Amino acid sequence: MAISERPLSAQDGQRLDYQAKLTGRAAYLADMKMPGVCEGAVLRSPVAHAWVRYVDASEALKVPGVVAVYTKHDVVQGTGIEPYYGPVFKDQTIVAVDKVRHVGDPVAAVAAETREAAEEAANLIVVEYEDLPPVMDVRDSVKEDAVLVHETVRIPEHGFADLAELKPIENTNVCTHFKLRKGDIEQGFAECAHVFEDTFILPTTQHVALEPHGCVAAFQPDGRVNLWSTTQNPFVVRTQLANIFKMPVSKIRIMVPYLGGGYGSKVYPKIEPLTMALAQKARRPVRILLSREEVFYTVTKHAAFIRMKTGVKADGTFHAREAEVFLDTGAFAEIGPRVAKKSAYTAAGPYKFKHVKIDAKSVYTNKPPAGAFRGFGVSQSAWASESQTDIIAKALGRDPYELRMQNIYDEGDEFVTGEKLWSIGVKDCLEKVAKEMKWGEPPEAPADPSKVRGKGLAALIKATITPSISCAAIKLNEDGSVNVFTSTVEMGQGSDTAMAAIVADTLGISLDQVSVLGVDTDVVPYDLTTSSSRSTFHMGKALELASLDLCEQLRRFVSEEHGVPFDETRMEGGKVLFRENALDIREVLFNHFGMQGGTLVGRGEVKTSTVDPETGDKTTSSFWFVGAGGSEVEIDKDTGRLRVLKHATAVDVGRVITPLGCQQQLVGGAITGMGQALFEQMVWDNGILVNPNLVDYVLPALGDMPDEITPIPVEVPHKNGPFGAKGIGETSLIPVAPSIANAVDDAVDVRIKDLPVTAERIFLGMLDKS
Amino acid sequence: MKKAITMEVNGASCQVDVEPWRTLLEVVREELDLTGAKLGCDIQVCGACTLLVDGKPVSACSVLAVDADGRRVTTVEGLADGDRLHPLQQAFMKHGALQCGYCTSGFLLTAKAMLDENPRPDDEQIKSYMGGSFCRCGCYQEIMQAIRSVAQA
């Protein structure tokens, strides 16, 4: 029986986290109580760009209940700490030292007995700023005479392997310039019958995980420190804290409760360094819980300005693609360089271009730092690429579906990097979406004559972080039940259930025999990160290997005890089989230990590389995300008001592990995409963020949903995934916005190139036409 | 300066001494250890802090605890009957109407209030009544299915 045909235990839709979450008993960070904890409050910059000349906390210290105040003096003259940190470049400090670089940049923090005292004291800290002109737009920031956000940027000694070649360009605001080249772009354009040039814009947005960021830090008498944090990647945060505080990682213990949503907002250090610094100074446990406004100052999604030029042959063959992608990374690099790189890889879309020249730049501005956001740079480049695909189709009088199918990648095709693409069901996804959307048939005529309808499609390809590491362990107990040790953070995506299902299926035991321990870096093995939709593929595989390790140990015991050759034993249905015998796991353990007791530990590790270990070929991504989306919209001709009637999303998932989790990720990603497409944008006025709250920053609600969102999982198994599974978390978000804009153009002949697609933009577009 | 208030919380009478500026959400979470309701936006927009006061949904982040004096408060912890989940909880489980779970308490309580008022809402009524709660994981379709299934039962 092939591995991908094996029955899977989570088919009935249960989730391990539901009982706790439905009854209000699931513990999130802010729900935990800690004796003796101080509450922290952060003083933040009111200006976008200024020198910090003077900080005086003497009045703050007089507030009753104040335990400690942390300012730049502690960073500079502190207890032997390394002032600079950051996941790619060391351009962040615990609090502002020389300059503040965005509104909301932390300047000082207070620990006090109560939150009220901490906030009161923070407001009594005197700070003298010397204003500098802020740069608020990437187009201004890349100009030669632009004011510099960072005068110098420090490079860490040991950075991420995949970003080693990326360096900031000195004396500019360009934090990264990643170049992707294939063929000869000039020759390519010269060979084309048609050349198209457009520019596209996406605004800064915010993840708005309903749970704001928070952290508790408590130093132990022996110098160790315990942290509880809302982080998606505790091991990366642990490394960063170890570097800042010059401690071995073994002395920093990070525990992660259930997260109330992440979507990329909780990767890399956020409030952890400041919480730990404050706890160190206060000599007391400290808790910082961010307010909603502070979350908007903590991390955002990259705004983008994209110039796209495409050459097409007379028969519609996509031939040459040039793109300049400017990504607004805000005041700190954060993970912006990788966002630029990932954005570049897919700026040519899932299409077979012969000549490619992509320049992706992440650029500093005086906005809050932009980081990871579900879709990671690809929702930006795909907005441009997939919108332009329809512009081209229209100009050539071609059907957008046919034109895509003519140019789309197939199994074994060569990617822009020169490597071959395997396990990419993008054609299948597009075909299934088109069928679901009844492509080729006109939309049903609306009953109201003032309304008009249209349909649109979009497709995508995206890479996952490579190389990366996932280690896992499982513990087999004397009764045959299993504890799973994984650092994959359950943030809603259903990973606990998927991981338990993989273990249960591999061992042949029922799901109710499996428990997943929460994340605790002192206990669970290393995992790089719960992001990049990598967990099922990488951690799932590591757990499959750990389970197989256990199976092998059990078979070895039986082989030795019964004098049967190892090869003549096998494991099936939770039993070790040899000759005519079938032994329960429990029996095998009892026989081995000689009594009811003992523990077996299975271990598994997955490390991916940029070189395929079997073929020696280059692999930019350990697997590829591919998918397609289709939208049908209805527009009010009098007002431009838009309603999405239907959306279909097809994602190549490799293999469905948990059907419910899969459906939730596909539909949920699409709904996040609708927010990005239709409503969300952070708005600045003179460097000040106008809408850091949920009244003025508009989120999609139940009433904004289409009547139907249809998830279509497509299964093209991947040889390295557990049971053939690939990651699914981000794919469905990406085609939403371009498919909606393409549907708008189909309906009213108005091409929207700037997100979000608002009624106002559609209305003005219709006005222009008439 | 604290004030003694008495509330009936999930069917049991309880007396707490609270500062007059404390919100109902703070008191329920911190004094009564009922942490199912969450702080999301702090300005009564997102719905994560929703509690029922005398059966009506309120944003507990913006209601003073002293204003709940003498009233009946229902939290998500009070929905199940012992080990038996409330029909809405069962439906949310069956239809997969949650992922991260941060909004779930608010959705369940708001839906309960709606169905107590109108046991047979149509889709438009559900969308309108539930419009004050956000789910960022994007479970709206499943939430709709779950509520419909209870409304039509």
Residue A654 included in any domain: yes
Residue A435 included in any domain: yes
DSSP per residue, A526-561? PB--S-TT-HHHHHHHHHHHHHHHHHHHHHHHHHHH
- Picking from B29, B51, B78, the residue at the C-terminal end of a domain is B78
Residue A612 included in any domain: no
- Give yes or no: residues B16 and B52 share one domain: yes
Q: What percent of chain B has pLDDT over 90?
A: 98
Residue A90's domain is classified under what CATH number? 3.90.1170.50
Residue A246 included in any domain: yes
CB contacts of B141 in chain A (<8 Å) are 667, 671, 705, 709
CB contacts of B109 in chain A (<8 Å) are none
A61 near B CB under 8 A: no
Nearest to A421 by CA among A352, A358, A493, A512: A352
In one-letter notation, the amino acid at residue B150 is V
Q: Counting runs of H as helices and runs of E as strands, what totals does chain A give?
A: 19, 31
Residues A365, A459: Cα–Cα separation, whole Å = 31
Residue A693's domain is classified under what CATH number? 3.30.365.10
Residues A257, A228: Cα–Cα separation, whole Å = 7
A672 near B CB under 8 A: yes
- Give yes or no: residues A252 and A371 share one domain: no
Residue A565's Cβ-side half-sphere holds a number of Cα atoms within 13 Å equal to: 2
- Give yes or no: residues A749 and A709 share one domain: yes
Facing A492 at nearest CB: one of B40, B99, B132: B99
CB contacts of A663 in chain B (<8 Å) are 96
Residues A548, A565: Cα–Cα separation, whole Å = 18
CB contacts of A256 in chain B (<8 Å) are none
DSSP state, residue A423: S
Radius of gyration of chain B (CA): 15
Is ipTM over 0.95? yes
Q: Return all residues near A393 (Cβ < 8 A) that are at least 6 apart.
A: A399, A400, A403
Residue A170 included in any domain: no
Facing A23 at nearest CB: one of B46, B77, B103: B77
- Give yes or no: residues A482 and A433 share one domain: no
In one-letter notation, the amino acid at residue A760 is E
Among B140, B147, B148, the strongest candidate for a mutation testing the A interface, having the largest count of A CBs within 10 A, is B140
Distance of residue A711 Cα from the nearest chain B Cα, in angstroms: 11
- Give yes or no: residues A243 and A375 share one domain: no
- Picking from B45, B78, B111, the residue at the C-terminal end of a domain is B78
What is the reported pLDDT for A164?
Answer: 84
- Give yes or no: residues A322 and A346 share one domain: yes
CB contacts of A670 in chain B (<8 Å) are 138
- Give yes or no: residues A289 and A312 share one domain: no
- Give yes or no: residues B66 and B125 share one domain: no
- Give yes or no: residues A547 and A628 share one domain: no
pLDDT in tens, A147-196: 999 999 998 888 888 888 888 999 999 999 999 999 999 999 999 999 99
If you measure CA to CA, which chain A residue comes closest to B130? Answer: A702
Instruction: Mark yes or no for CB contact B140/A17 under 8 Å.
Output: no
Domain span at residue B115? 87-151
- Give yes or no: residues B68 and B98 share one domain: no
- Give yes or no: residues A696 and A577 share one domain: no
Residue A738 included in any domain: yes
**CB A537 within 8 Å of CB A720:** yes
- Give yes or no: residues B9 and B74 share one domain: yes
Helix, strand, or coil (residue A592): helix
- Give yes or no: residues B13 and B61 share one domain: yes
CB contacts of A656 in chain B (<8 Å) are none
- Give yes or no: residues B107 and B67 share one domain: no
Average pLDDT over residues B91-103: 97
Residues A709, A657: Cα–Cα separation, whole Å = 21
Residue B37's domain is classified under what CATH number? 3.10.20.30
Instruction: Mark yes or no for CB contact B134/A493 under 8 Å.
Output: no
Residues A90, A338: Cα–Cα separation, whole Å = 15
- Give yes or no: residues A474 and A456 share one domain: no
What is the reported pLDDT for A621?
Answer: 95
- Give yes or no: residues B72 and B91 share one domain: no
- Give yes or no: residues B44 and B94 share one domain: no
A76 near B CB under 8 A: no
Task: Write the burial class of residue A419 (CB in 10 Å: 0-12 exposed, 13-18 middle, 19+ buried).
Answer: middle
Instruction: Mark yes or no for CB contact A694/B126 under 8 Å.
Output: no
What is the reported pLDDT for A7?
Answer: 53
Average pLDDT over residues B60-88: 97
- Picking from B29, B57, B78, the residue at the C-terminal end of a domain is B78
Among B21, B23, B88, B141, the strongest candidate for a mutation testing the A interface, having the largest count of A CBs within 10 A, is B141
- Give yes or no: residues A622 and A543 share one domain: no
- Give yes or no: residues B8 and B68 share one domain: yes
- Picking from A579, A607, A635, the residue at the C-terminal end of a domain is A607
- Give yes or no: residues B135 and B104 share one domain: yes
- Give yes or no: residues B57 and B96 share one domain: no
If you measure CA to CA, which chain A residue comes closest to B88? Answer: A22
Phi, psi of A176 (to 5 degrees): -155, 140
Domain span at residue A568? 3-26+468-607
A117 near B CB under 8 A: no
Given a cut of 70, the residues of chain A with pLDDT beneath it are 1-13, 78-79
A13 near B CB under 8 A: yes
Residues A728, A657: Cα–Cα separation, whole Å = 11
**CB A362 within 8 Å of CB A333:** yes
Task: Write the burial class of residue A308 (CB in 10 Å: 0-12 exposed, 13-18 middle, 19+ buried).
Answer: buried
B73 near A CB under 8 A: no
- Give yes or no: residues A477 and A436 share one domain: no
Phi, psi of A628 (to 5 degrees): -150, 155
The angle that helices B87-95 and B140-151 make with each other, rounded to 10 degrees, is 140
Facing A664 at nearest CB: one of B85, B96, B103: B96
| Longest pairwise C-alpha distance within chain B | 50
pLDDT in tens, B127-149: 999 999 999 999 999 999 999 99
Q: Looking at the 3D structure of chain A, how many domains does it have?
A: 3
Q: Looking at the 3D structure of chain B, how many domains does it have?
A: 2
How long is chain B? 153
- pTM flag (> 0.90): yes
DSSP per residue, A154-178? BPPSS--GGGTT--PPTTSSEEEEE
- Give yes or no: residues B62 and B8 share one domain: yes
A24 near B CB under 8 A: yes
- Give yes or no: residues A668 and A734 share one domain: yes
Radius of gyration of chain A (CA): 27
